[in-house]
Structure 1
Amino acid sequence: MKISLILAAFSLQIIGQFVLADDQQPPIVDTKNGRVRGYSKTLSYENMTIFVYEGIPYAKPPVGELRFKPSQPADNWTGIYDAHGYRNACMHSLLIKPDNEIPETKHQSEDCLFLSVFRPAKQTEEKLPVMYWIHGGGFETGTIFSVAYDPSYLAGIGNVIVVAINYRLGTFGFLYADDEDAPGNAGLYDQLLGLKWTNDNIERFGGDPNKITIFGESAGSMSVSSHLLSPLSKGLFKRAIMQSGSVNSWMGSTSKAVALKKTKMVANALKCPEDDIKQMLKCIRNASADDIVKSNQYGRNAGMVLSPVYDSELIPKNPVEAMKNGEFHQDKDLLFGINRNEGTVFAEAIFPTVLSPTIKNPKLTKKQARTLIELLFGIFKLNDPKAVADFYLKNASDSDVDELRLSIGSAFGDYHLTCPTIFFGETFAAHSESNNVFGYYLVKKPSLSALLECVGYMGVCHGDDLVFLFGFPIELRGTVYSEEDFYQSMDMINAWSHFARYGKPGKFGQTEWQPTLNDRSSSNASASVLQMDVRGKHRMIDNYFVPE
């Protein structure tokens, strides 16, 4: 699957518009590992200045005998660490572009466990709320050094500190071998260690360790929900934001048996023994990083992407059962939500010859659409793929090809992203001690999507929320993005930062954002969510997700 992140060619323009500020230098910070020097950056919006501490090591390089093991805290250093400039991205899939094509992401290494701290330059007596960002990328790709995930505007306009973290991906991050040397979830252990680092150090940057909000999108959101279930994360954060993904999904987590099957596929690709766990693990550990990346590609092509493992120390139970039983951190505040057309870009990547929006007058009938949906859900091993196809095609006709294509995308997106996320949010609300649980449904498409493929019929695609949250329409107001985009971006930044500060998002534009009050007495009730449209059209909607 080839997915293009935000504006590969366009990214250089964005980077060029940031100005390094010489007149306001950030203070040197004494972390528990040593002293750190950052740099200042002035944004185009109101000449706002932020301080950036980029690429701070928070863990020992997970190489050699540490490969596949839970990460260990970084060693101390002497002198002043210069936290300025891109560090290595973690080893990741070669199939997803342009992560290997733009300067800040193409340098990959196993020595990649870095985090960055962004904070407003303006000094205040208030200890600032902290937002801990976990990037997405299907547990296979992504890095905090990508321009797509630059939180500068969120930190500056939201008046919060943002900590962004690299974590191990693919085989390096999620290999499970039923052995203490490879217990699985290494990428989640990285996130956990980075969260501990944040608790230990963020006050020195002006942050409040008692107001930490973990947030993420896609696989990052799946990770956030994992930490909401994990006893190991207890006491390390106060709030959570989940954007388009949950641990209780097909890709969000898996059983040990399935995880071990995936590991044996990796071993087979590397020509390693599969019968003896110790010998298999030794062989994989001794393989080159590049060969391991290629073996991960082998598993991906066979539908065996590595992912978090439950029935483990970090995720003790099957997430669906844990949620139903209320076995999660019920005292946390939660903001969760999805975009209107989560599945279109993925479905298009699987069936490009009929679903690509660039095809004029595609030859697609209702019967063919039914076949594609049944094929997909047969792969997902659902008992009755025909029933799924019946549901999504009940109002479609041969005369409306775009509606047929949207139906395929909706079936995929609902199964993988929408329904698991809504289930998590409304189940969390049913057990919540804080009652600060809020949902959203984004129906406003940005003028330029996060994914270059997302045009035409494809709608509000997976990742479009990040365009607004990370301030692209503010940086590029009146050029690529419209005034509606600008205000949506401002509203989202203000709501996310308000939630991090108070546990409630407050008003969205002029619309009061009501909490999700799941009706426990009714089996036919679904989450109440804020429908995010253009300004003036935002509104709360009830029970929208009941049919799905």
Structure 2
Amino acid sequence: MSLKPVMMQIHGGAFTGGTGNDPSLDGGALASRGDVVVVDINYRLTTLGFLALQDGITNGNFGLGDQVTALNWIQKYIKHFGGDPNRVTIFGQSAGAGSVRALMASPQATGKFAAAIPQSNLAGLAYAATYSEYYDIATEYQVAARPILNATGCLGAASEVNCLRGIDPFVLANLSIVARFLVQDGVYIATNRLQLTGKGSTANVPVMLGFMRDDGASFITYPKTATNVTSVLGPSGFNTQLTPSTLALYPVPNGQNATTNVYNASAALATDGEFRCLDLATAYSGALHKTFPAIYVYEFNRSYNGYDPNPPVCQAPVEAGFPGGNPAREYFKCHSGELNYVFGTLSYLGLPDRDGYDIPMSQFVLDTWASFARTFNPNPDLQFLAARGFTNTTSIAQASGYWSMVDPEEPRLRVMQYPGYETDFYVFSNDQRCNALGLPLDYYEN
């Protein structure tokens, strides 16, 4: 029997929520159409998954340990499900992408997967920082563990961990402060970040990474009145970056809705500061030092049902003839907006094809992800497509052109839309903006 490539999916949810059983992440279409074996996992979350104490024993990263355990299980048993343990691709979005990045850095995961796809990995400023820069245990103790111990009456107990074991786990996991941080425990994570310059235990595997065009829009609050970018982003931890010279690089548009104009500029800065700049810097350094044998970068410029705490900004505008929204009009392409495309779950969830292109787009995206898992190249093989009658993907692949791996001398990025195209890294990274935010393309060179 010929064994098939394996895709192990790690769900997102800020390390505090989410589930591998999310219907949007159902692996049925990906497995059948992509000719791969899909494994969805669960892992311990919140304080039960990530609390670290200063007792030399309770060192955190239990949720990450669960992910390594899943990889161990795949190595031992996946062949009985038709999967090839030598061709395992780990992939995940948001905190799932943070997990993929951590596994790429983990000596415990080395050799247990062959490729990686971190989607919308948080990194850089404000809330995003700790997803890719890892606290030492002493810092995590002050930030999370100490407040938890104080809230439960366990601070200073003879055994703080035994005291916490006496607390109802549902109470513990739902306190106003929870532990959600990956830490340098010396076992699962031994460095302060993924090492991209040839140091550390970084997995030498092909990587495909990227982000939504407006990923940061989902992590800021839509202003109730038209104020300014500082008033929107300051409370979210961007204060030190909001200098006049930096703000000048994010001009407020002159649209009819003044509040949306302010939100637009704020979302652009948040996306750069929490996603785009350091995703591009990761790819640049990884390619420059040949840390990865191949690396591909994308940006999604089409979305469906993104994470929208400020509805309806992440939804395509509803208008005559488009009851589900018109994707040809401008709207924010928000965090999580690619998931239904990647997993091919639009029909499964009963979601309408808004303009006749959503289903073909999803077929193309799914085929791209599966191609990477099968061949470590996201460009679907035209003979593979022809043999299966996947004419929609053949058409869009030909219209979009070839997706090049990142070359540090002339890095390229794929824009995922219908059809897509490839563009210069520097056009999309906007060097001035990333430099002004302190997140330059060579960020990981220092």
Band the TM-score falls in, shorter-chain normalisation: 0.7 to 0.9
Please, which of 299, 303, 309 is the counterpart of residue 177 of structure 2? 299
Please, which of 149, 154, 164 is the counterpart of residue 267 of structure 1? 149
**Correspondence list, 1:307-456, <5 A:** 307-310=181-184, 312-319=186-193, 322-329=195-202, 331-348=204-221, 352=222, 354=224, 363-365=225-227, 368-378=228-238, 383-386=240-243, 390-391=247-248, 393-394=250-251, 396=253, 400-432=258-290, 435-446=293-304, 448-449=305-306, 451=308, 453=311, 454-455=314-315
Distance in 2 of aligned mates of 1:406 and 1:250 = 22
Contact 1:473 1:482 in 2 (8 A): no
Q: Which runs of 5+ in 2 are unaligned?
A: 318-329, 381-395, 435-446
Contact 1:531 1:540 in 2 (8 A): yes
For residues 462-510 of structure 1, give each alpha carbon's deviation from its aligned partner in whole angstroms, at most 9, with x where no partner exists: 0011010111335478934442111111111111111111111115622
Distance in 2 of aligned mates of 1:450 and 1:291 = 26
Contact 2:307 2:336 in 1 (8 A): yes
Per-residue deviation, 1:257: 2.7
Per-residue deviation, 1:405: 0.4
Please give the root-mean-square deviation of Cα atoms over the aligned residues, in Å: 2.6
Distance in 1 of aligned mates of 2:201 and 2:211 = 21
Q: In the alignment, what sits opposite 2:53? A: 177
- Secondary structure at 2:237 match in 1: helix
Letter paired with 2:226: L
- Secondary structure at 2:40 match in 1: strand
Q: In the alignment, what sits opposite 2:377? A: 504
For residues 162-206 of structure 1, give each alpha carbon's deviation from its aligned partner in whole angstroms, at most 9, with x where no partner exists: 011100000001101033431111000000001100110001111
- Secondary structure at 2:141 match in 1: helix
Q: Determine if the alignment matches structure 1 residue 258 to structure 2 residue 258.
A: no
Contact 1:177 1:183 in 2 (8 A): yes
Distance in 2 of aligned mates of 1:405 and 1:370 = 11
For residues 501-526 of structure 1, give each alpha carbon's deviation from its aligned partner in whole angstroms, at most 9, with x where no partner exists: 1111115622211101123xxxxx7x
Alpha-carbon spacing, 1:434–1:266, altered in 2? closer, same or farther (3 Å): closer
Distance in 2 of aligned mates of 1:247 and 1:311 = 20
Contact 2:25 2:345 in 1 (8 A): no
TM-score between both structures, scaled by the size of structure 1: 0.66
Per-residue deviation, 1:269: 1.4
Contact 2:223 2:232 in 1 (8 A): no
The structure with the largest strand share of the pair is 1
Letter paired with 1:385: L
Contact 1:393 1:404 in 2 (8 A): no
Q: In the alignment, what sits opposite 1:32? A: none
Contact 2:110 2:203 in 1 (8 A): no
Distance in 2 of aligned mates of 1:204 and 1:244 = 32
Q: In the alignment, what sits opposite 1:483? A: 356
Q: In the alignment, what sits opposite 1:23? A: none
Contact 2:24 2:349 in 1 (8 A): no
For residues 373-405 of structure 1, give each alpha carbon's deviation from its aligned partner in whole angstroms, at most 9, with x where no partner exists: 233335xxx644325852553354596432310
Contact 1:438 1:515 in 2 (8 A): yes
- Secondary structure at 2:303 match in 1: coil
- Secondary structure at 1:245 match in 2: coil
Distance in 1 of aligned mates of 2:148 and 2:368 = 43
- Secondary structure at 2:230 match in 1: helix
Q: In the alignment, what sits opposite 2:65? A: 189
Contact 1:344 1:458 in 2 (8 A): no
For residues 222-274 of structure 1, give each alpha carbon's deviation from its aligned partner in whole angstroms, at most 9, with x where no partner exists: 0001111111111101100010015775131333232101101111111222x
The structure with the largest helix share of the pair is 2
Q: Determine if the alignment matches structure 1 residue 213 to structure 2 residue 89.
A: yes
Distance in 2 of aligned mates of 1:165 and 1:476 = 20
**Correspondence list, 1:36-51, <5 A:** none
Alpha-carbon spacing, 1:130–1:398, altered in 2? closer, same or farther (3 Å): closer
Q: Determine if the alignment matches structure 1 residue 466 to structure 2 residue 327.
A: no
Distance in 2 of aligned mates of 1:396 and 1:255 = 42
Worse overlay, 437-446 or 448-457: 448-457
Alpha-carbon spacing, 1:364–1:209, altered in 2? closer, same or farther (3 Å): same
Letter paired with 1:233: A
TM-score between both structures, scaled by the size of structure 2: 0.80
Contact 2:135 2:183 in 1 (8 A): yes
- Secondary structure at 1:335 match in 2: strand
Q: In the alignment, what sits opposite 2:417? A: 533
Q: Which runs of 5+ in 1 are unaligned?
A: 1-124, 355-362, 520-524
Please, which of 38, 41, 45 is the counterpart of residue 165 of structure 1? 41
Identity percentage of aligned residues: 25
Q: In the alignment, what sits opposite 1:143? A: 19
Q: In the alignment, what sits opposite 2:408? A: 518
Letter paired with 1:372: V
Contact 1:442 1:460 in 2 (8 A): yes
Contact 1:450 1:464 in 2 (8 A): yes
Aligned residues: 391
Per-residue deviation, 1:421: 2.5
Q: In the alignment, what sits opposite 2:163? A: 283
Alpha-carbon spacing, 1:294–1:476, altered in 2? closer, same or farther (3 Å): closer
Per-residue deviation, 1:144: 1.2
Contact 1:388 1:411 in 2 (8 A): no
For residues 35-77 of structure 1, give each alpha carbon's deviation from its aligned partner in whole angstroms, at most 9, with x where no partner exists: xxxxxxxxxxxxxxxxxxxxxxxxxxxxxxxxxxxxxxxxxxx
Contact 1:326 1:431 in 2 (8 A): no
For residues 141-160 of structure 1, give each alpha carbon's deviation from its aligned partner in whole angstroms, at most 9, with x where no partner exists: 01112212211111111010
Alpha-carbon spacing, 1:474–1:290, altered in 2? closer, same or farther (3 Å): closer
Distance in 2 of aligned mates of 1:243 and 1:462 = 10
Contact 1:337 1:441 in 2 (8 A): yes
Contact 2:252 2:262 in 1 (8 A): no
